[in-house]
Each structure stands twice: as C-alpha cells, then as structure tokens.
Chains A and B, each alone.
Chain A
Amino acid sequence: MSAATATGARSRYDAVVVGAGHNGLVCAAYLARAGRKVLVLERRHLVGGATITEEIHPGFRFSCCSYVVSLLRPWIIRDLELPRHGYEVLPLDSTFTPFPDGRYLLRDADPERTRRAIAAFSPRDAEVYKQFGQRMAELGRLVKPLVDGVAPDPTSLAPRELARLARLGRGLAGRGEEWLVGLVKMMTMSAVDFLAEWFECEELIAPMSVSGIIGTFLGVRSPGTAYVLLHHYMGEIDGSYRAWGLPRGGTGAVAEAIASSARALGVEIRTGAPVARIQVTGGRATGVVLENGDEIGARVVVSGADPHRTFLGLVGAEHLEPDFARQVRRFKMRGSSGKVNLALDGLPEFACLPGRGAHLTGDITIAPSVEYLERAYDDAKYGDFSRRPFLDIVIPSLTDPTVAPPGGHVMSIFVQYAPYHLKSGAADWEHQREAFGDAVIRTLEEYMPGLERRILHRQVLSPWDLERIYGLTEGNIFHGELSLEQLAFLRPVAGWSRYRTPVRDLWMCASGTHPGGGIMGAPGALCARALLAARAV
C-alpha cells in the first residue's frame, strides 16, 4: 500500500509543511534548496505565525506577538540570503529601568557611560558588570554548539553521540574546574541567586533577572531560571558582536523575507488554507486534509505547529502509542504572558527622565525590585494576572519610521504574568481582557504620566487570545516552556528530539523541538537537515 503510494500515485509534493511560521518557512526553504518540491499551508491570511506585523490601527503596524530578534542564526541569514529579501535589523542596544522613586538606570552600548550609571547605585557592581558580561559571553560560546546542532543525547552510548558530547566538553576542557562549576550552577540555580553571586544592588539584579523568566511560568527565584539568562548573551546579530535588534517593518518582515527567499527557491506557499488533520494511514503520515475537505498527499508531512496541537489535535491520540501521547500531554505549555500593543499620537515621556532620548529607543524594563517580580508571580500562581506585572517595552517607531505615521508611535508591551488558566477558567479571559489591559496601563502611568491620553488604539492579547488567533496552545509563546526539563534531548519528548516522530513520515520543525523558541530558525533548518540526511525525501 505504501509502496503503491510512493510509486503509483506519485505525490505531487515531496513535503507539505503545516503552518507558515518562521520555522516552517525556514524548513521549507532548506528542503527546496535541496531540490525538493515543497508546499507550505497557512491557516491565516498572512505568513509568519507568531512572527507577524499587522496593521491593527490605520497607519500603525504592530509586531503583535514576537517583537525583537537576536537568535536568528547567522548561517540561516546567509544561506537564505535574507538581506536580499528585505531582512534588516536596527539596533536596540540599551536597557532602561525606571524606579518608582524617580531614579532610573540606563545601560547601553557605551561601557563607560554604563559603568557610571551603575556606580550611582553601587560602585562595586559597576566594575563587576563588565566582567560578568564577559563571563556570560564565554559561557554562551560554550553552549552555542548546542543551538547550532541537534541535541546531544547523554543517555546514548552511540559513538556519534559520545563525539557530540565530547565536542561540548572540549570547550570546557582546559578552562579549569571553576568553569564547569559555573555551568552547573547556571543549570540549577535561580536567576536571582545566580546574579546575587555577582552583584549586590537590587536595582541591577531585578532587571537582569527577568531574562530568566520570559515565557516561563516560573519566578525569578525559581531554580533553573539562571540557565535562561545565558540565552540572552547568545543573542547574536551580525556575527556575534551585537546583541538584540528590531527588524525593520516589524517582526513580520522577517517572516516575509524568509517567505520571499523560500518562494525564490521554488516553495509554494498557500495562505488561508487551514489544515484540519494530518492523514495517517497504517502508522505513517501520507498527507493532510484541509478544512475545506481538500486532500493533499506528500511523501512527508512536516508540522510547524506545537507538540500538543500536532499530536493531540492534527494527528489525534488514536494514532499514537498511549505512552507517547501521555508524554506529549505532560509537555508543559501553560502560557504565562500577554501582549499589549499601543498606537500613540505622540511620544510619551518618563517622569524620571523627560523628553526624547536614547533611553526610549532601547529596551524599557519595568522590573524595579525582586520583591516586585515575586509578587507579580504570586498573583499568577493563584490563577490571576499580575496586578502590577513585569513589563518589557519597545517603541520601534523611534528607529523604524515605517511602522507608524509621522509623529505617531507604536509601543509594544510584553506583559508577564498572565496565566492561561485563570482561576475562573481560561475562557474567562474574554471578560478579563480589558481589566488586564487596564492593569498594564495603570502600572505604566506611574512611570509615564499622561500615557493614557496619547493612546489612539489599544490591542490586548491574553494567552487565551494567543491560542485562539495564533494557534499557540495555552498561549505559550515558545511552543512549550523553555525550562530545563523540556530542553535539548528532552524536547518535546525524550527520545524524539531529532525532529522525527513516532508517526512515520511525520516530522516536527518548530519551537517545540530543540533548540526551542524565539525567532531563531534553528529548529526549522535542523529539521530540514535531518530529513535530508535520513533520505526521508
């Protein structure tokens, strides 16, 4: 039967990719580059998945979901010639933290200025800060091979696996024990505890610790969050010597560039084509069925959806071994964040540092103290959104005038915590949404008086909305929490971290696989590489 499908009714497509998120597109592009015939099917009217720019208010273009890039692999940018297809990244090289008492801390690309700024809080920390950055960058380099290759499997004694582990170990060898200790500490400690080994002043620790919790349902004092800090230092743009950036035209422009490159390589992309299910016959995936009933056959099906949606939704548990289905169910999604996007009629001002300036063009963090962050987490633990949440804000229109009309501005506010499972139930978000938006604006008004008067339009996205609109199960922005027990060879299920699935000819290519979420593209590219190496297509 399967042989007949392969030879007789030869499939028109070698691969059909479900979902035109950035990983699906990257995967498709690499497959096409190797001469395969690829079709990408997207449910929505535009490509990008959670990497999109939408004109929510006339003239104002929001990066509705993801809002910065840093981890998009440089080799993918080169292989797919993304700059030629419109990929441009503008610098975002400062972090501004205002405090309720009118003080503020601005850290930017100028090391001396940053040192002086920190010294106002702690002269000691000001000196340590640079050393810390250097140590983290080196640690980041050590674990970088993890991100650029398939996950090594320490449970296997196969020579190739041992070689992979050895390569990672080689970086550590010769650096002395303290490096290994440092790495192990990072893997196990909480972000705050880890930072407290370096720094004394909380005004520095609090805003630095938040990169350990973004997108997870953990607090800055939860063990294991220190490791995620490292991702922050791996952010590389232009090789490895720039940190984070804003894509010109919003993050949607990144997806557009990848799509344009993919099309140039021969990929066919269909939008407005929702997949109802993945066709499984005799334990193997043979194609997909669209919601309109159309059947599309392909030699392999590659899912860009998250593990829950793929296996429990599109495939169906009836086609899975009960044990595998159980493990997929255990894979933690539990979205913890929301987005508030604002269209403004002018530039808002901070009470502590009025006027425009470099502090507005970078990253703005509302994380004034560790206690503040922990209290925000407390609300979430008991099924409520944070009354005074952690906020991560960018105003892209200051550096990229294409996203707002002259004089107007867009403000992107990442908000944590917003638990998917409210104590009143996830569906109650429909009624809580605006109250949640109000809490965010109220929090910001304390620092930016007059902000509310400048708002022309407000888009509030709860995790429930993220699930409904963007297909992210439980609104998890990373297709599954980036916590240690769900990373590397454990992502999404132990034994299935190499993009294959127990369903033959069904592969996974998105953030629910190694190395995980963020606009990184690595899962998509590594999946394509694995598919080709296995001669699956």
Chain B
Amino acid sequence: MPIPSPFHERTRALCTSYRWKDWAGYAAVCSYDTSHDREYFAFRESAGLLDVSPLYKYEIHGPDAAALLSRMVVRDVGKLEIGRVAYVCWCDDRGKVVDDGTIARLGEDSFRMTAADPTYHWLLAVGRGLRATVEDSSARLAALALQGPRSRAILGEATGADLDGLKYFRITRARLDGLEVWVSRTGYTGDLGYEVWVERDGALAVWDALVAAGRRHGLEPAGLDALDVARIEAGYLLLGVDYYSAPKVVLESRKSTPDELGLGWMVDLERGPFVGRAAIAAERARPPAWSFVGLEVSWQALEALYESYGLPPALPATARRDGLPVYAGETQVGKATSHTWSPILKKYLVLATVEASRAARGTVLELEHTVEFERRRVAATVVATPFFDPERKRRP
C-alpha cells in the first residue's frame, strides 16, 4: 500500500477525481480533475505545481564524494562546479544503463543525487574504500516541481530572491516563508521550471507559500498524467518505460547502452576509470545496434485510416505506455514505448527505439495502430527531439 507524501494533506484535499497511483511507494496524483487538460496547459502557459517527493534522493559528502560519483556515472563529476546540476546516467560493468538522474554540487565536498530507482546500495558498493558518506535523504526531503512560463515570477515573489541569475541546470539556496530551501532550475517538462527541496517538516508551509504566490499567475496543482504528456514533448526518457534497468532484466536484448539511448554525449571516456568504461569503449568499436528516436505520426494517414471505418480519428486522452511494434515494410524494426497527442504541437508524438540504420531524420516508418479491434499501421516519420523546446527553458 502506498504511503502519503509530505504534501498529502494538501494534495488529497484538491484531488477531486480520486485518481492516484503508486510512485516509488507513495500515493501520487494522476490528475486532480477527471481530465489532465488544465494541468497540462498550466505547465505550458502559467505554472503547474507537482509533488516530486517520491524521487529517490541521496546526499554524498566527504573529500572523495566527487571521486565516488565520477566513478559511478558516465560523466566527469569532478568538473562540475559548485552550484551546478548535471544530468547523468550510470551503467553496470557491461556498459548497460542502470538508471538516469541528476547530480547537484552543493559544495566542494557535498553532492545531492536523484534517481528513479533505489540507488543506495549502488552508491555504497561503488564508494567502498572512499572517504565519502552516503545518506538516503529520500524520506527526509520533500520536493516540489514548479514548472511553466510563470514559474520564475511565482518563485521570485515567494522567495524574494532574484532568480534571473539562476541559469538552466543551476542550484541555489533560498528562503521561503522563513524556511531554508534549495531551488534548482531543473525539471521534467522541458519548459522553464524549478524544483524546490525542503526538509519534510517545512513541506506544507512551502506548498502554501507557492500556492499563495501563484494565485495571481494562474498556478494549478498538476499530476503525473499532465507531466507524462509534457515529458514526451520534451523527448525525455523514462526508466521502466522507454528503457529498462540492466540489473533488473533477464534478457540481454532489453538492456541498453548510453549510445543507444541517445545519452552518448555525456560519456567521458578520456578520464579515470568508471563503472562500465571498458565495455562502453569496446562497444564503440562497432556501430550501435539501436537508436532512441522521436517519431511523428502522419495525421493524414491516421485520418484516412479512421475514415475507412467511417469514424473520426480518435486517440487516447492521456499519454500511453503500451509498447507498439514499429515497421519498415514488412519487417519489424523497433518498438514505440511512449506516445501521446501533443495539444500544443497538434501532433501525435512517439518515443521509440529502432534499428540504428532506420534512425536517420526523415526516415518514414510505420506504427501499429488498432482501430475497431483490428491491427493496422500508420506512417510515422523520424524527427528530431525535443519535439517541443521553448526558448524560455534555457533563457537566462
């Protein structure tokens, strides 16, 4: 049975739809209303407030903290400046991805890491013999994501701080309603947005302060359904949906290398050893087998398909995670793992893993689509991700 998050008292009162789901053992809101529409548009037009406390969080301290993390993840964390955040992934010894998350450098010898899966044991194992302590702060810290074009104004009013100096992927301390908090310019919506980290006891005060400041800006509490649409538009991967954690699967074919997930850019082989380095280096000798791509379904083809049944085109109202085969001619060349109708782009978007030889932009493939219990196909073109990438996301 999922347990309540530190914000539960507030979220429960607002969740009139009773639509909840289990996220890392916590009860998390899918959508506050019966439809996630309003919450989605809050992310894109004003600001959405999302409880992200269930994220796994770890504090790594000590003179060897940087060394520990550098040894664990594919990026060189030693180079990370204080006050910066890095998006990272980490691999097993065979160079297959275990998980992805962020690392924030809070001080010279102090880091905070987030992960989708429990990672405490992994940190301990990698850090054996190093002068670093690892604390699982998952339960101690509450976290809120405030995402959307008005998030800066809201957070600025709530903290009294000038956030214009806080660049994309930076973190800073701030005071909110008399409480000490951390504010990072990060998120999972691909929009201008921040995440606020606070001690569990201060959770409700922070929620109330943000809601109060947000009232004039159209802030809406938002749930995971709206987030799922936004993150697909942003082209972000989701563990357990778009790829699987290597130690958790039996079949070799379910595992992925960073290159296959489009995370090759963060791999730094020209430095000291890290977990999986040799395997990744060996893998790079030959071209990768798979490629993670964005597909855009042809609406004309979809409309024509439905028209042949005498129906108007219909898509599920929420983002979907049911895997669908992707074809080139009669051959299956991959799988679609996340798909959604994008209300802002007015397109049907798909995240898929396809054979690397089919991954060139502009390649036309086919996606399975079921109409009236019959399996049919529609044309889908490989396009660049992020599908949606507003300038405000990075703007200083």
Contacts and interface: CB of A to CB of B under 8 A. Distances in A.
Chain B associates with chain A: yes
B314 interface: yes
Interface string A396-408: 0111111000110
A163 B236 CA distance: 49
A110 B34 contact: yes
B209 interface: no
B346 A83 contact: yes
A44 interface: no
Nearest to A137: B312
Interface residues of A, number: 30
A237 to B, nearest CB: 8
A401 B41 CA distance: 11
B35 A109 contact: yes
17 contacts: A77-B346, A88-B45, A88-B344, A91-B37, A109-B37, A141-B312, A238-B346, A239-B314, A240-B313, A241-B312, A241-B313, A399-B38, A399-B41, A399-B45, A401-B217, A406-B216, A406-B217
B312 A239 contact: yes
B46 interface: yes
A146 interface: no
Contacts of A90: 41, 45
B38 A361 contact: yes
A78 interface: yes
Interface string B143-186: 00000011001000000000000000000000000000000000
Nearest to B346: A83
Interface string A187-198: 000000000000
Interface of A: 74, 77-78, 82-83, 87-91, 93, 109-110, 113, 141, 238-241, 248, 358, 361, 397-402, 406-407
Contact of B313 (A77, A113, A239): A239
Interface string B344-379: 111100000000000000000000000000000000
B35 A74 contact: no
Contacts of A91: 37-38, 41, 343
A398 B343 CA distance: 18
B37 to A, nearest CB: 5
B141 to A, nearest CB: 30
B33 interface: yes
B93 interface: no
Given A240-B313, A241-B315, A398 B45 contact: no
Nearest to A88: B344
A74 B34 contact: no
Contact of B344 (A83, A93, A113): A83
Given A239-B313, A241-B312, A358-B33, A248 B346 contact: no
A265 B314 CA distance: 31
B290 interface: no
Contacts of A109: 34-35, 37
Contacts of B153: 406
Contacts of A398: 218
Which of the listed residues B45, B218, B341, B346 has the most CB atoms from chain A within 10 Å of its own CB? B346
A29 B46 CA distance: 31
Contact of B45 (A82, A239, A400): A400
A251 to B, nearest CB: 16
